[in-house]
Homo-oligomer: A and B are copies of this chain.
Amino acid sequence: SGKNWADTMKVRGYMQIRSNPIIGGDKQIAHQADRSIGDNTNFMIRRMRLIFFGDIGERLSYYIQPDFASRTGSSDNTGNIAQLRDAYGDIYLTKDRVHRLRVGQSKIPYSFENLQSSQNRIALDRNDALNSCCKDERDLGVFYYYTPKEQQDMFKYLVDSGLKGSGNYGMFAFGAYNGTGANRSENNDNLHLVSRFTYPVKFENGQIFEAGIQAISGTFKPSTSSSNAPVLDSGKDGFKDQRVGVHAVLYPQPFGLQTEWNWGRGPSLNDAGTRIEEKSLNGGYIQAMYRIKDFYGYGVLIPFVKWQYFDGAQKFETNAPQNHVNDWEAGFEWQPVPEIEFTAYYSKLDRNNLSSDARSANYPKYNTDILRFQLQYNF
């Protein structure tokens, strides 16, 4: 019976190789989103994804995406291990795919940038303010998506056309999930809840605009280091973990703007570094871009500039340390052919060092200028 099933499976992939030289400022730095930012680093494979996907019958689509560039803390200190990112099925409640349940590990429908694939994002890393909601943007649970036919076509167009849309995560979404992050076991008896509404509209001049709102609510229990651990100022099941966010995107036809902001409360190391408490957080970003569809016959070029701000704690990092981010980025993404992308930009980092090495210094701030280079293959 293998043959018939196999005929329905498709495979594709993408890969990102990076290098991030420091050109000024503090050298003792670390960035939780990219291990190749820091002193004594060079080339790194940031993502190496294979995606096995397909439709079976009229009721099921499946999507299995391991990342072959994962690290899991092996004792021989090697990386590039295969670990799941997505692994889910879409069960179509109606055959027109307007109503569906997504069960498995998948992206949590919170934040436009979280949902947009890294394959399509211009900046190399997501903003901290909204991305800190969800480890690897994903979790394990059950999600309901409502997408009318018209929006199905719109979401598909926004990706296929190269406009860097988010893909179809519903016009309306509601879900319940463990809340401990992708590939992590549940550690309390509370599920997280999420809901999102987004609406893309096409203006008379043909340009597309999308805006929406989303919220998360749950209880989160941070992990603490084994030595010099802060006290957890909460009950057994953890801390209140609540956020609300808004997003607005003017798609780059050719000029585009993208912005998001969110506010919330969650676990946070206190200023003295002695105790984890419930604290407020807020932050977001704004990005401007200009899409040159034909760069003198050498493919697509997209210059961009991005500013991001975050004042809150990174609950998924050990000890839930505070992060105060005020970063600038400016540069371009260049696609000479659709299968090859090269990104280069300048980034001014102003944020905290959240590495375990920095625990003894209470996660100090740093101010550093770096260049960022990425080569991406799409296949």
Given known pairs A5-B12, A80-B84, the reply for A56 and B183 (CB within 8 Å) is no
Binary per-residue interface labels of chain A (81-105) against chain B in the complex, 1 for a CB within 8 Å, 0 otherwise:
1111001010100000000000111
Q: Which of B45, B73, B104, B377 contacts A60 (CB 8 A)?
A: B377
**CB-based contact A17/B103 at 8 Å:** yes
- Which B residues touch A42, using CB under 8 A? 178, 186, 189, 191
The CA-CA distance from A12 to B5 in the complex, in Å, is 6
Nearest Cβ distance between residue A196 and chain B, in whole angstroms? Answer: 20
Chain B residues with Cβ under 8 A from A80's Cβ? 83-84, 87, 105, 182-183
Residues of B near A300 (CB, < 8 A) are none
Asked if A52 and B52 sit within 8 Å, CB to CB, the answer is no
**Total contacting residues, chain A, CB less than 8 A:** 84
Question: A72: CB under 8 A from chain B?
Answer: yes
**Do A50 and B78 touch (CB < 8 A)?**
no
- Interface residue ranges of A1-43 to B (CB < 8 Å): 1-3, 5-6, 8-13, 15, 17, 35-36, 39-43
User: Which residues from B are CB-within-8-Å of A9?
Assistant: 11-13, 379
Q: Once the chains are docked, how many angstroms separate the CA of A56 from the CA of B15?
A: 14
Residues of B contacting A70 in the complex (Cβ-Cβ under 8 angstroms)? 81
Complex partner residue of A12 from B6, B76, B81, CB under 8 angstroms: B6
Q: In whole angstroms, how far apart are the Cα atoms of A378 and B54 in the complex?
A: 11
A84 to B379, CA, bound (A): 17
Quick one: which of A40, A52, A78, A82 has the most chain B CB within 10 A?
Answer: A78
Number of identical protomers: 3
In the complex the two chains form, is B377's CB within 8 Å of A15's CB?
no
Q: A68 with B56: in contact, given A12-B6, A379-B8 (CB under 8 Å)?
A: no
Say whether, besides A59-B340, A87-B45, A72 and B69 are in contact (CB < 8 Å).
no
Q: In the bound complex, what is the Cα–Cα distance between A159 and B36 (angstroms)?
A: 37
Q: Is A48 part of the binding interface, using a Cβ–Cβ cutoff of 8 Å?
A: yes
Instruction: Tell me the complex Cα distance, A57–B77, Å.
Output: 37
Q: A12 and B17: CB pair below 8 A?
A: no
CB distance from A365 to the nearest CB of B (A): 24
Which residues from chain B contact A75 at a C-beta distance below 8 Å?
72-75
What's the least CB distance linking A68 to chain B, in Å?
5
Q: Which of B15, B51, B177 contacts A104 (CB 8 A)?
A: B15
A257 at interface by CB-CB < 8 Å = no
Chain A positions within 8 Å of B, measured between CB atoms, are 1-3, 5-6, 8-13, 15, 17, 35-36, 39-45, 48, 50-54, 56-57, 59-60, 62, 64, 66, 68-84, 87, 89, 91, 103-105, 140-142, 159-160, 177-178, 182-189, 191, 223, 336-340, 375, 377-379
Please provide the 9 A-B residue pairs with the shortest distance between their CB atoms, ordered closest to farther: A73-B75, A72-B74, A73-B76, A82-B82, A6-B10, A80-B84, A5-B12, A80-B183, A42-B186
